[in-house]
Structure 1
Amino acid sequence: MEAIVKFLNIYLATGRTALSILVLMFILLCTMKVSAQQQTQIEKMAAEGYAMRFSDTIASLRIQQEALFLAKKNNSRVDEAICYAYLAMTYRRLLQLKEFTRYAEQSYGIANTTADSRAIAYSNWAMGLLRSYIDDKAGAVDYMLKAYGLFAQLNEYSYCAKIGADVSYLFYPGSEVNMRKYADEALRFAEKSNDPESILHARLAVGSYLLESASSNDSLLWKQAVSFYKKTIHQAEQVEEFIVSKSNIGIAHLNIAALYMNAPKLIDEKAFLSHLEQATHIGRKYNLRNIYRSSLGLRGQFFIQKGDYRTAENLFKEGIAYQQTLPYKDNDLLAAFFGCLKELASKEKDYAAYHEYDIYFNKYNKLKYDEEMQKILQNTDARFESEKKLELIKQLEKENELEKKNKFLSYGISGVLLAGLVFVYRSYYYRQRYYQNREDILQQKQTNSELKVQLMEKESLEILADKLSIERRLLQSQMNPHFIFNLLGNIQSMILKNDRLIAISYLGKFAKLTRQVLEQSRMDRISLELEVQTLKNYMDLQQLRLNHSFDYYIDMDETVDPNVHIPPLLLQPFVENAIEHGLKPLADLRHGFLKISFHLRMDADVLECTITDNGIGLEESRSKKKNVPHTSLSTKITDERLALLYPDNPFVQLKMTDRKDVEGAGCHVFLSIPLI
């Protein structure tokens, strides 16, 4: 656009008429708009690399990186945004959330600095897939629908088909109407595109809602669904070499097998087993774990229903043996297979085999649970970081919109001035120079004002970032996973021993403690009484976890008002350190004891807190950790919080010392907290 303005200034100097200038300006703008929507060679190169993501991942990434290098070399922001979007979607397939997030956000940030519909469509597609990956369906739908609308305007029917199908899945199970709407639209777009990959993707989306409706006893709906899937499989097999996502062919076989298994009348066993064999073959041929697992699982469940337990058992064991030959372990698959074997052993009343399978089931189920928890934590952190970045991007979008409005306004004014040039050319020339000088002055003032605002925002954001960082690390340090898992294990043991009343009591304490930690971590101040209640709940649960190997006592002398307010969760990290690193290692040496005292220093209005234990002491605890990579965050986080809350306050104090007296070793923590 800047080049066009410069060209017009030169054109004006030659004395051309306003009408000819306006015609030329319109032609140039239309040409630029059309060229911006066409697929470039760089985009084609990135798309070819993306198509290789299943067959040759290394070559796929290399080709896409080469396309990105060319985009940067040519200074093409549009191609750069598209290349980043393809890379993001490739790393999604590789389940690498960090790279997936980075490339999707880069694509979105760059695309929104352009006015190119194609780049914006790609970036919104990548962001929609990212939000779906981290379980944010609402956000995913917003981004996907924006990409869907832009690709529809560009007549990119294959992309519309893929996105429409994904949007249909996002509406399941909340809105059957929208699920059907976008699946049907996806199929119409796919048929227009004549792309085998898109057609299969869209037909599976339509098949999904047909599969749901055919689960009833309506034989007509069931026949329609079976007929649809047969046609889908037949079409896919005719063009299998052009379909990149081979897993979709396996899914079609699995879905029609599920239809046969849930048939209103007697099952067509031959057709059912044939489709499962096809799915199993595809799963093993292309190393598709989900397809292979589902096909074996359905076959095993079928033979269990028939009462053929030996065949079912052999199928599950075959799946386990195959999985154990692979260089990786799919804990979800192994847990599912051992769970099925447990069910078989239970039906045959083979309790020895049941016990053996249960050991493996619990082992792989725990590993699966750990992986899922890690994924949940990663997704939560990714959502938090992504939302912060998106806020900044939205701010940039608003600024770009304002800039566009200003540009359109300036073009309108320029058009009026150009029309008047026919009558008052010389007068307009000097007037134009006057306006240009005035605009330069205003822009300079605006630039200076924006720099001041940005500087103030930066300082505020840095302070807020420091506070959020400390608060997040504080929340992360409150209850470690070992404490949670051991505690829940003890409660589970109580339930198994029929100590249900005690188990329910401790489960209530755990729920209350979790709620208190989450609520208080968002508060600036809480009452001392509430802090003490939280500490009691925490220490009661620690006593349960450590088999009551220690006692505790809380002493609040008469000078202290329980309603005074202090920062939340300030003492818990030190109580945890005293229990974990002081009292827990005592073993059978002696019974542990923990004392917490509160005293008000009236001359300075300062609350003095002491935490004393009879554990092994600081020196011995440190000596045991010389070869163990461990860093205690309690002192550092508390120091940072106190420095942020009470800057330059001389009464703030935190000391940790060893105590050695007649009762033995231990640790003494002293903390003074100003109340004003």
Structure 2
Amino acid sequence: MKLLFTLLFLSFFVINSAQRSAPDSLLSILHKTNDLDKIIQLQNQISEAYQASDPSQMRKYGELALMTSKKSNNHIQKAKAYQNIGISYIISGDYDKAVRNLDASEKIIINQNINSKEAQEILAKTLGSKGLIFSEQNKYAEALAFDLRAMKIYEALKNELQLSKIYNNLGVIYKSIDDEKNALAYFLKANQLQKKNSNPAVAVSASNIGLIYLEQRKNELSKKYLDESLEGFENNPDPRGLGELYNNFSRYHIAKDQLNDAKAVLKKAERTFQSIEDQFGLSDTYLLFAEIFFAEKDLDQSLMFASKALKISNDLDLPETRMNCEKLLSDIYEKKGDQQQALLHLRNYDHEKEKLEKVKNEQQRLRTELDFHYEKLQLEKKELQRREKLKVILGFVILASVLAGLYFYFRNKEREKTLMLQKQLAEFEHKALHLQMNPHFVFNCLAAISSFIMQNGKEEAIKYLSKFSKLMRLTLEFSQESAISIDKEIEALQNYLELEQLRFNQKFDFKITKDPVIEDDTAIPTLLLQPYVENAILHGVVPKEGKGSINISFLQRNERLICVIEDNGVGINSSRELKKNSVSAHRSMALEISKKRLEMMEELENRSAELKIEELKDDNHKTRGTRITLELPLNFIKN
């Protein structure tokens, strides 16, 4: 995934050699020029000429162009200078400074309302550059937004060269969310346009295509496109692209079990990335080195390269690389017999994995958004075609009544389609919120198993695992459902509470009751109550001195389903104080997600859902626990 992000970078910045003069020849012209506007233009051209070879020189001449443009008040060249400085920081891996300079470039074009072709080209490239940064940081939704803005500008300018690069970037985003079918389609589309226009970026799309075929185990097709990419970079040198291609070739050799060949090309990749100070590419190279040496049981070499990759991934904030490094380091130390270090890196790996789960949820949401966006574009295209036909028909229509009738008919049809699309979007958002619940719930259970095994021994662990497997079976049975019967919810809660009783050594008792008037097919949103029960356990009865109790009751009143969770724990205020003083206080994402689910349910059904949390007091005004009351619209399972 990370490798494709790097190729996305190239897809924006490979420039045709016919459009880029050598720095030396430009410098000689610069020394002979006195015209201020010409000086700025030459300084920016020199900055771009250093792009593929020396980012520090690129930044130097970009800053000179910026200083000169401020003297002449040349807004276009000033925006260009900020853009070049930003790109140089991308190459060096300093994304914060890159974003600041790219933001400045974008603001100049927009605030000055410059609509010339040159200005719009600068704006589109700036937007694409920002899209690159967000892509490399796994922020796909933001990357998509900037790419689509850039694409609209290039479409208006009818710039096929840049459109091919945008297609490549869309392929990268689809690949990042594991949609290989659409990713491959966009890469092939980009490759075709680039060949048509003799664009050097053809080497980038070919490398992307080769990597997908490699993952699909189509080694011969993969080799064909990787060789095509190598030929492209030999004809149009670009160190960063070549370094990434060497990494791809190493993966090909690893797949063929040719480890010596893989190490040979990785050495080339290392030298190439070091020549342009490309830390992002080096992180990938070092991790591949570490994996190969680990496979060869050379633990010292594997440890050295894994540590290098981890340092870079921390400096650049690369979550996926960091997670893979931590897992490999844990395996290395385990093989070396250092259990303390192995456990430390395993914990770091678990932490990074949990964070990456949030990224995967974001990927799923983005995939839903992309599918919806595609369907919307198709509907708009069909509607446009219909309107064009209507214009032809209206040319032959004479009677005003017929014209008015057609107008109102099509307007009503458009309104119905808009309402339908809004409803579909709301349903997609509801499903996306539901998808966030299951990974969090499973992670908590796995953490409980790990804790119990460490504390209580084998027999109790076996009991715990048995109950956990039953709970997982129940969860899987209705994981695709937005609502389940109330009896299934009670069964899942019963199992979960028994697991937590074992985990906390019978620290609390519990009781679940259901009003006899409640029908068996009464529906309740899946796993809606579990986060509140979990909160009652962890922050209510566990911190309490002595035995705790949790009572869950389901009532039916006036077409409303009322769910009450009551505990005799330390209470809301004491719980907040404990969490404030705790270094390891955990922010429950599940409670926030449950709140959003309630809000979404209100939107979809147009019926209110109420949540009330109150602290219970005895006659002496002392805290005796907490009560959570959920009032839901009464619904039934549809057969």
> TM-score by structure 1 length?
0.63
Of 493, 502, 517, the residue aligned with 2:463 is 502
One-letter amino acid matched to 1:507: F
Counterpart of 1:54 in structure 2 is 91
Q: TM-score, normalised by structure 2?
A: 0.66
1:340 aligns with 2:332: yes
Partners of 1:642 and 1:652 within 8 A in 2? no
1:253-282 deviation line (CA, Å, top 9, x unaligned): 7xxxxxxxxxxxxxxxxxxxxxxxx79988
What are the Cα deviations for residues 198-225 of structure 1, in whole angstroms up to 9, with x where unaligned? 6676676566545644649xxxxx9xx6
Whether 1:73 aligns to 2:114 is yes
1:596 is matched with 552
Output the CA distance in 2 between the equivalents of 1:406 and 1:671: 49
- In the alignment, the residues of structure 2 paired with residue 53 and residue 506 of structure 1 have an alpha-carbon distance, to the nearest angstrom, of 50
Q: Sort the Cα spacing of 1:363 and 1:332 in 2 relative to 1 into closer, same or farther, 3 A.
A: farther
Instruction: Trace 1:262-661 onto structure 2 (pairs within 5 A).
Output: 288-292=282-286, 294-295=288-289, 313=300, 316=303, 328=315, 332-333=324-325, 336-337=328-329, 339-344=331-336, 354=337, 357-385=338-366, 387-389=368-370, 391-392=372-373, 395-396=376-377, 399=380, 456=416, 459=419, 469=429, 472-473=432-433, 476=436, 479=440, 483-490=444-451, 492-493=453-454, 497=458, 501-515=462-476, 518-520=479-481, 522-523=482-483, 526-556=484-514, 558-586=516-544, 589-599=545-555, 604=558, 607-618=561-572, 620-621=574-575, 624=578, 633=592, 636=595, 640=599, 643-644=602-603, 647=606, 656=614, 658=616, 660=618
Q: Which amino acid aligns with 2:359?
A: Q
1:126 is paired with a residue whose SS is helix
**Structure 1 residues 123 and 666: CA distance shift in structure 2, 3 A:** same
Aligned to 2:61: none
Aligned twin of 1:17:
none
State the Cα deviation string for residues 301-345 of structure 1 (Å, max 9, x = none). Answer: 76x66xxxxxx659847975997799849565465346434423x
Report the more deviating stretch, 56-65 or 554-563: 56-65
Q: Are residues 443 and 584 of structure 1, via their aligned partners in 2, closer, same or farther at CA, if it must alter by over 3 Å?
A: farther
Residues 182 and 120 (structure 1), Cα distance of their counterparts in 2 relative to 1, 3 Å cut = same
Q: Deviations over 1:463-516 (max 9, x none)?
A: 555565566556646755873353131354389636564243033034225425
Query: Structure 1 residues 513, 360: CA separation in 2 closer, same or farther (over 3 Å shift)?
Result: farther
Tell me if structure 2 keeps the 8 A contact 1:161–1:199: no
Q: 1:78 to 1:436 in 2, by over 3 A?
A: farther
Distance 2:164 2:373 in 1: 19
Following the alignment from structure 1 to structure 2, what is the Cα–Cα distance between the partners of residues 546 and 492?
A: 12
Question: Is residue 624 of structure 2 the alignment partner of residue 665 of structure 1?
Answer: yes
Deviation at 1:107, TM superposition (A): 2.7
Change (3 A) 1:67 1:446: farther
Give, in whole Å, the separation in 2 of the partners of 1:326 and 1:571: 38
Distance 2:368 2:605 in 1: 30
Q: 1:162 aligns with which of 187, 191, 204?
A: 204
Q: Which amino acid aligns with 2:267?
A: G
The answer for the alignment partner of 1:139 in structure 2 is 182
Distance 1:596 1:582, change over 3 A: same
Q: Residues 314, 45 of structure 1: CA spacing in aligned structure 2 closer, same or farther, 3 A cutoff?
A: closer
What is the SS of the residue equivalent to 2:513?
Answer: strand
AA at the equivalent of 1:392: H
User: Which residue of 189, 209, 221 maps to 1:178?
Assistant: 221
Separation in structure 2 between the aligned mates of residue 250 and residue 148 of structure 1, nearest angstrom: 28
Q: Which amino acid aligns with 1:145?
A: L
Does residue 120 of structure 1 match 2:163? yes
**Secondary structure of 1:551's aligned partner:** strand
Q: Which deviates more, 462-471 or 480-489?
A: 462-471
Rounded to whole Å, the distance in 1 between the matches of 2:378 and 2:466 is 53
Give 5+ residue unaligned stretches, structure 1.
Answer: 1-37, 217-221, 234-248, 254-277, 306-311, 345-353, 414-433
Change (3 A) 1:188 1:406: farther
SS of aligned partner of 2:624: coil
**Closer, same or farther: CA 548–92 of 1 in aligned 2, 3 Å:** same
Q: Within 2, Cα distance between the matches of 1:565 and 1:471?
A: 17
Q: How far does residue 611 in structure 1 lie from its aligned partner after superposition? A: 3.3
SS in 2 for 1:666: strand
Distance 2:402 2:369 in 1: 32
Distance in 2, matches of 1:326 and 1:645, equals 42
CA drift of 1:53 comes to 3.6
Q: Which amino acid aligns with 1:613?
A: D
- Higher RCO (Cα < 8 Å, 6 or more apart): 2
- From the superposition, tell whether residues 664 and 189 of structure 1 become closer, same or farther in structure 2 (CA, over 3 Å): closer
| Pairwise CA RMSD | 5.3
Q: Which amino acid aligns with 1:336?
A: L
Name the CA distance, whole Å, in 1 between partners of 2:385 and 2:157.
11
Q: Distance in 2 between matches of 1:443 and 1:365?
A: 71
Q: Return closer, same or farther for 1:626/1:373 CA change in 2, 3 Å cut-off.
A: closer
Query: What SS does the corresponding residue of 2:215 show, helix, strand or coil?
Result: coil
CA spacing shift, 1:97–1:192, aligned 2, 3 Å: same
Which structure has the larger Rg over C-alpha atoms?
A: 1
Is the contact between residue 280 and residue 295 of structure 1 (CA under 8 Å) also seen in structure 2? no
What one-letter code is carried by the residue in structure 1 that aligns with 2:115? N
Check conservation: 1:112, 1:397, Cα contact below 8 A: no
